[in-house]
Amino acid sequence: MGIKYLFSLLMMMVVFLKHLLSSRHCTKRWMDTSKSSWTQSLLESSDGDGAWCPAEPVFPAEAEYLQVDLRRLHLVALVGTQGRHAGGLGKEFSPGYRLRYSRDGHRWMSWKDRWGQEVISGNEDPGGVVLKDLGPPLVARLVRFYPRADRLMSVCLRVELYGCLWKDGLLSYTAPEGQTMYLSEAIHLNDSTYDGYSVSGLQYGGLGQLTDGVLGLDDFRRSRELRVWPGYDYVGWANASFPHGYVEMEFEFDRLRAFRAMQVHCNNMHRQGVRLPGGVDCRFKRGLASGWEEEAVRHTLAGGLGDPSARAVAVPLGGRVARFLQCRFFFAGPWLLFSEIAFLSDIVNGSSLVESSPPSDGSAPPAPGPAPTNFSNLEAEPRGQQPVPKAEGSPTAILIGCLVAIILLLLLVIALMLWRQHWRRLLGKVGIPRVHLCEVESPQDLLNLEFPLNILRSDATKNARNDFLKEVKIMSRLKDPNIIRLLGVCVQDDPLCMITDYMENGDLNQFLSAHQLEDKAVAGGPGPGGAAQGPTISYPMLLHVAAQIASGMRYLATLNFVHRDLATRNCLVGEHFTIKIADFGMSRNLYAGDYYRVQGRAVLPIRWMAWECILMGKFTTASDVWAFGVTLWEVLTLCRAQPFGQLTDEQVIENAGEFFRDQGRQVYLSRPPTCPLALYELILRCWSREPEERPLFPQLHRCLAEDALNMV
């Protein structure tokens, strides 16, 4: 098995174990639509012949869906998809899909990730299995898959759902909308994943971050989730906004329950004005039409001025029987911050189920009563055809022990495979210099260079040769005065080589940082030796340098070629300030600080990347324009500082989120001292939130070239 498959299996087990150990005691179950039953096998363990295929094309409309009826509320945390491969004969798969879900069979919600995106990327081939962690998870009885494609193509779908029974039975909670706290930065304490309604500052009819299983950190300004804003883990309210001194919340459950306790995970960072509630009052009612019972349960808390760590506060409810709870949380300080609310309750026998309302297809509802301990034959059918239940059961302690042992074994296998690959790469580089300076005797023989596809050695490493050939193919197409030229390639003998232009002044970053601005040198007077210290460069020449970069990028744009890593470090300087754009991997060792490592794997130049590249992985010519704006800022500052040098990598990612939200809190690079206001306004247009509002490279080149010419 490959590392990719082992890693996917490991992540699946980690998610399983995470939910198993959570307060909700989830047990993993998955559903395979090719077999229409709960199964212990993975998608790719079967022959892949059976699958659901829409009757009509899914492009451009997405009308048909595959509906899974779980018969009871479940917490769904992970989704697996696969096409129909049929042992190599099938070719149908879905490149993407959307999810809709319902808790009662009447109201349907669209699943969205933490940044509001609905479309989930699917499969790239019929045989591969793609696992997607649903962040946030969804609570539902019915789940619909809407396959989608960006062109006319055959689409088939096989799915697996990973999750557990929703034992809390909570259908919805009603609460005031979360507020924003202003410290050194804005802390957004809103319930951003709430799937209900919001009217006049009140959220009702849904579930959100207070039931997603994620407990907030001790410091509410930080978050457990990647690429989200400060305060994301918490929902919070200010005392000053509530004249009665309390926050009132209502909770609706699936059936009549006897409530033993309520657990509220609260922040207690009292030095920032956040404290535990001073007390809680809860009232109860058994039905929607009945009134609230007069006798309330009251519980007084200490307020927590000691230990500032976040904690779960237990509120005993005395076994009161109800379907609806109304709780008032009294302020003991300026702010209340909650990250999770859970209930300990027992189902009252004979109570009616909300899930027992007739499904949309008119089939009979399940009989009321306690939850069954076993399922059998749970099916998934398109458009809501009626399934029959099934599941497996095993002792939790044994299951956890087995999972931990398997995870440790997989980690060991993956570590050994990575170690082996690491040494193979090192041994492959032994004795191979990085760069040679050479002289071509007959350059005229290189004018009709053709890419030699037929002379590759058969024993070359597949990945290394593929990367080499890909780079040669790209460079062989590029013929522009401001793009580095490919003069020749060597593929007959190891090491594989390519011959390019020699740019004697190195990369633009080091070149400019060794200079000082001519006007500044004159104003400062001569140095101790009677002359200016170090080489100088004029402002018109900086514009000429920038215009050449814009010219090269204009050429790349005509080929629909996206550079993805435009920066001064990837521009080379030749004679007479000639600039040529390049992109060599060897520059990343010298400029390792400019790249952000994603979870120990990929490295990204996030300080040069547009917000849509960081958050959505979307690279276009418009995102290259964004990077050009940062590169122009580097040129005008003579590369004296790193872009956003005052921000950490994590803060740069958070700033990308501010561009996405577009609420006026995003941070821009400041105007360089040598930059006229008109030119800075042009740079700011390169950083427009909407890609279509950014200038094009022909316009950028024309403006810079004209300015440089006018100043000569």
Q: How far is CA 568 from CA 577, 592, 690, 708, in A?
A: 14, 14, 25, 19
Closest-CA residue to 255 (of 107, 355, 142): 355
User: Can you tell me whether residue 667 is helix, strand or coil?
Assistant: coil
Q: Is the peptide bond before 136 cis (omega within 30 degrees of 0)?
A: yes
Helix, strand, coil percent content, the chain, rounded in steps of 5 = 30, 25, 45
**Is 34 in contact with 51 (CB distance < 8 Å)?**
yes
User: Can you tell me whether residue 100 is helix, strand or coil?
Assistant: strand
What string of H, E and C letters represents the secondary structure of 385-442? Answer: CCCCCCCCCCCHHHHHHHHHHHHHHHHHHHHHHHHHHHHHHHHHHCCCCCCCCCCCCC
At a CB cut-off of 8 Å and minimum separation 6, what does 47 contact? 86, 87
Is 459 labeled as catalytic in the residue annotation?
A: no
Rounded (10°) angle between helices 621-636 and 697-711: 20
The amino acid present at 575, given as its one-letter code, is: E
Whole-number Å distance between alpha carbons of 342 and 380: 30
Dihedral sign (CA 24, 26, 31, 36): negative
**Is 619 in contact with 562 (CB distance < 8 Å)?**
yes
Q: Where are the beta strands (DSSP E) in 268-310?
A: 279-285, 297-300
Whole-number Å distance between alpha carbons of 438 and 428: 23
Residue of 233, 565, 594, 624 marked catalytic: 565
Here the tokens at position 612 are 């849509």
Whole-number Å distance between alpha carbons of 218 and 236: 14
Closest-CA residue to 267 (of 229, 304, 317): 304
The total of other beta-carbon atoms located within 10 Å of residue 3's CB is 13
Q: Where are the beta strands (DSSP E) in 574-672?
A: 579-581, 596-597, 603-604
**Is 494 in contact with 488 (CB distance < 8 Å)?**
no
Beta bridge partners of 328: 248, 281
User: Can you tell me whether residue 209 is helix, strand or coil?
Assistant: helix
Whole-number Å distance between alpha carbons of 699 and 330: 60
Whole-number Å distance between alpha carbons of 700 and 242: 53
Cα of first residue to Cα of last residue in the chain, in angstroms, is 64
Pairing type for strands 486-490 and 279-285 reads unpaired
Q: Phi/psi of residue 410, each to 5°?
A: -65, -40
Q: So which residues are the catalytic ones?
A: 565
